[in-house]
Amino acid sequence: MTLVGDLDTPVPLVEVGRLERNLSRMAERIAAAGAGHLPHTKTHKTREIAERQLAHGAAGLTVAKLGEAEAMVDAGFDDLLIAYPLVGEAKMRRLAALLERARVRFTVDSADGARAASGSLAASGQRCGVLIEVEAGSGRTGVSTLPEVVALAGLVASLPGLELDGVLTFGRGYVEGTAAQQRSGRAEGEIAVGAARAIEAAGLGPLPIVTSGSTPTSPYAAEVSGVTHVRAGNYVYHDLMQVSLGVATYDDCALTILATVVSHPSPRRYVVDAGIKTLAGENYGWGTYGRILGQPDVVISWAAEEHGVIDLADEVADPGWRIGDRVRIVPDHACGVSNMHDEVIAVDGEQVVDTWRVISRGRVR
């Protein structure tokens, strides 16, 4: 039997007990609210956790890019929502091939995008379901006004090769505190439902999919009447962002990075062997790359590519580590961490129980 102590570092660990509890809780909350779940698998990118999500009642899987969809179909899954506008001839050829093997949907937020996709898909004799993406605070993609939504839906419904399957929103979910998350979740759900009702009022319905919700907001978006599916993703692992927002506690964080103390060059500084290339560099403004599990005041205050630097804050007691000691780090953003590693190690306490391949790591195309 392999123990955590036998592993070389740095290495990402997934606590299976915490994972299972996270899966249950979210599944129960969404089911209780009467919605379906299309969990976003970008967080873990593994076959094993996707299987567990389906076992917990998920209606299908969401992915971020076409390449992630291909990886998931290769792993045996057959119902994928690509929450991304697919653009370009190469993408459409790959999509047409994938449609031979699975049900796939993607999002559209422009007439040009819809027309180009239609032309390619129709030429290949395929038909693909699309969701109109509506802006609901994401600050990135999505149609902004109801007249535009209805016009784009009408165009999609009229085009060969495309099937108008519904509406998708991604809101400003990363807000602090339950009240704000509730407001945000309801808002993004209501925007999706409002768009869907307007499309249906134009005679273009009924729409089978009206989807909204991230990890902080899914329980609330799910309560909005008319929202058919939410798309929580990060909840399988949680991370410092979710802890900072009040969505999770440290005890819920299922993904940690086992690292080794490799340097103690001055009394108030330690360096661990996990830097940006292990912890991911996207500290979304939370001011840290990670915190030590069980000692959350001990912070990776700065990271170079391969160095995690812990400059102890004045009020923090010296953890007294020796060179070679090992620590577990709770990362700032779990989804980014998954994308840095080819494998994660499933553990039960100090016992290694499995190795899971991160099958869609790096599938950015």
- Smallest separation (angstroms) from its own copies to the CB of 17: 25
Query: Which of 276, 299, 334, 346 lies at the binding interface for its own copies (CB under 8 A)?
Result: 276
Judged by CB under 8 A, the stretch of 50-58, 104-112, 175-183, 344-352 that binds its own copies is: 104-112
User: Does 290 help bind its own copies (rule: CB under 8 A)?
Assistant: no
User: Does 225 help bind its own copies (rule: CB under 8 A)?
Assistant: no
Q: What angle do CA 118, 122, 127 make, to 5 degrees?
A: 85
Q: In the chain, where does DSSP find H-type helix?
A: 16-32, 47-55, 66-74, 89-99, 111-123, 146-158, 178-201, 218-221, 240-245, 276-279, 334-338
Judged by CB under 8 A, the stretch of 51-59, 72-80, 109-117, 198-206 that binds its own copies is: 109-117
User: Does 261 help bind its own copies (rule: CB under 8 A)?
Assistant: yes
User: Does 313 help bind its own copies (rule: CB under 8 A)?
Assistant: no
User: Does 355 help bind its own copies (rule: CB under 8 A)?
Assistant: no
Angle between helices 111-123 and 146-158 (to 10 degrees): 10
Judged by CB under 8 A, the stretch of 120-128, 216-224, 278-286, 344-352 that binds its own copies is: 278-286
Q: What is the DSSP letter of 331?
A: E
User: Does 309 help bind its own copies (rule: CB under 8 A)?
Assistant: yes
Identity of the amino acid at 20 = E
CA neighbours closer than 13 Å in the CB half-sphere of residue 181:
19
Q: What is the DSSP letter of 40?
A: B
User: Does 182 help bind its own copies (rule: CB under 8 A)?
Assistant: no
Query: Which of 208, 302, 316, 356 lies at the binding interface for its own copies (CB under 8 A)?
Result: 302
Distance CA 146, CA 165 (A): 17
Radius of gyration of the chain (CA): 22
- Smallest separation (angstroms) from its own copies to the CB of 290: 14
User: Does 152 help bind its own copies (rule: CB under 8 A)?
Assistant: no
Distance CA 171, CA 169 (A): 6
Q: What is the DSSP letter of 318?
A: P
Neighbours of 315 (CB within 10 A): 6
Distance CA 312, CA 299 (A): 7
Query: Which of 116, 123, 151, 202 lies at the binding interface for its own copies (CB under 8 A)?
Result: 116
User: Does 11 help bind its own copies (rule: CB under 8 A)?
Assistant: yes
321-340 residues in contact with its own copies (CB under 8 A) are: 322-324, 335-336, 339-340
- Max distance between CA atoms of the chain, in angstroms, equals 71
User: Does 315 help bind its own copies (rule: CB under 8 A)?
Assistant: no
User: Does 264 help bind its own copies (rule: CB under 8 A)?
Assistant: yes
23-82 residues in contact with its own copies (CB under 8 A) are: 42, 64-65
Query: Which of 2, 24, 144, 158 lies at the binding interface for its own copies (CB under 8 A)?
Result: 144
CA neighbours closer than 13 Å in the CB half-sphere of residue 321:
25
* Nearer of residues 132 and 222 to its own copies, judged by Cβ: 132
Distance CA 309, CA 270 (A): 6
User: Does 268 help bind its own copies (rule: CB under 8 A)?
Assistant: no
Query: Which of 91, 186, 231, 291 lies at the binding interface for its own copies (CB under 8 A)?
Result: 91
* Nearer of residues 14 and 27 to its own copies, judged by Cβ: 14
- Smallest separation (angstroms) from its own copies to the CB of 342: 6
Query: Which of 196, 219, 341, 346 lies at the binding interface for its own copies (CB under 8 A)?
Result: 341
Distance CA 89, CA 301 (A): 44
